[in-house]
Amino acid sequence: MRRLAYPVLAVLGVVVAVAGALVQAAWFPGGLILALAGCAALFWGGAKLTGGRVGALVPAAVWLLTVIFLSSARPEGDFLFANGLSPYIYLLGGAMAGVMSATLAQPGPPGGGSLEAR
């Protein structure tokens, strides 16, 4: 079951990154709080779902790569992250949520995790 959970968590990492990039500047500060709460919920939920740190690291790494890709300048002049405080807080807060979720997650029992017990 874990092998199925990791690709799903990776796809959810992309979805949360794109949704957070769109929402964080829309309703400041409510959108920023909503975007960071979505990141933290995905990372912590992934750790709890899989019963280990990798469950938090997979969506956090994909989220970070997606946000870096979305923040890059395009030749057409299009951009998703404007200059300001909100995008920087989103980048730093999301990265901190990923690190904290992976650090605080307790590894599952050696014989199996939370998904095998179901």
61-114: pLDDT as tens digits: 999 999 999 888 777 766 777 778 888 999 999 999 999 999 997 776 655 555
Distances in Å between the Cα of 13 and the Cα atoms of 1, 63, 86, 87, 112 are: 18, 5, 20, 17, 25
Domain annotation covers residue 77 = yes
The label of the residue with tokens 């970070």 reads 64
What pTM value is reported for the model? 0.84
Domain annotation covers residue 112 = no
Domain annotation covers residue 114 = no
Domain annotation covers residue 118 = no
Domain count for the chain: 1
Q: What percent of the chain has pLDDT over 70?
A: 89
Residue range(s) defining the domain that contains residue 21: 2-104
Domain annotation covers residue 96 = yes
d(CA 8, CA 42) in angstroms, rounded, equals 11
Is the pLDDT at 56 greater than 60, yes or no?
A: yes
Average pLDDT for residues 51-62, to the nearest whole number?
A: 93
More confident residue, 6 or 117: 6
φ, ψ of residue 60 to 5 degrees: the values are -70, -40
- Could you tell me how far CA 44 lies from the centroid of its own chain? 9
Domain annotation covers residue 111 = no
